Amino acid sequence: MKTLVRASGHAGLKAVFAPLFAPIFALGLAAGLTLGAAASLQAQEAWPTKTLRMIVPYAAGGFADIRTRKVSQELSKSLGQQIIVENRAGAGGVLGTDLIATAAPDGYTLGMGNLAALSVNVSLMKKIPYDPIRDIAPVILIESSPLILTAGPGLRASTLKDLIAQAKAEPGRLAFASSGTGGAHHLSGEMLKQRAGINIVHVPYKGGAPAASDLLAGHVPMMFEMGYSALPSIKAGKIRALAVTSSQRIALLPDVPTLAEAGLPGFESYNWQGIVAPAKTPPAIIERLNRDLNAILKLPDQRESILSTGSQVGGGTARAFGDFIRSETEKWAKVIRDANIQPE
Query: Hey, how many other C-beta atoms are within 10 angstroms of the C-beta on 232?
Result: 10
Percentage of the chain beyond pLDDT 90 is 85
Q: What is the pTM of this model?
A: 0.86
- Answer whether residue 29 shows pLDDT above 50: no
- pLDDT for 232 equals 96
Is the omega angle on the peptide bond into residue 171 within 30 degrees of 0, that is, cis? Answer: no
**Interval 58-89: pLDDT, tens:** 999 999 999 999 999 999 999 999 999 999 99
- Sorting pLDDT into bands at 50, 70 and 90, what band is 18? very low
Quick one: which of 250, 296, 310, 305 has its CA closest to 67? Answer: 305
Check pLDDT > 90 for residue 37: no
Residues 156-201 have pLDDT tens digits of: 999 999 999 999 999 999 999 999 999 999 999 999 999 999 999 9
Report which of 142, 151, 75, 166 is spatially closest to residue 318, judged by C-alpha positions.
Answer: 142
Q: Which helix (H) or strand (E) holds 143?
A: strand 136-151
Separation of alpha carbons 311 and 208, rounded Å: 17
Tell me the backbone φ, ψ of residue 60, rounded to 5 degrees. Answer: -65, 145
Element (H, E) at 109: strand 109-114
> C-alpha dihedral over 127, 128, 134, 140, to 10 degrees?
-140
Helix (H, G, I), strand (E, B) or coil at 56: strand
Average pLDDT, the chain: 90
State the first-to-last Cα distance of the chain, in angstroms, to the nearest integer. 77
Check residue 163 and give its pLDDT: 97
Map out the domains of the chain with their CATH numbers: 52-145+270-338 (3.40.190.150), 146-244 (3.40.190.10)
* Long-range contacts, 290-294 (Cβ 8 Å, 24+): 290/139, 290/140, 290/317, 290/318, 292/75, 292/78, 292/79, 293/71, 293/75, 293/139, 293/140, 293/142, 294/140
Query: Residue 79: in which H helix or E strand, if any?
Result: helix 63-79
Asked if residues 335 and 189 have their Cβ atoms less than 8 Å apart, the reply is no
Residues near 109 by Cβ (< 8 Å), separated by ≥ 6? Answer: 52, 53, 55, 99, 100, 103, 277, 278
198-243: pLDDT as tens digits = 999 999 999 899 999 999 999 999 999 999 999 999 999 999 999 9
So what's the pLDDT on residue 343?
84
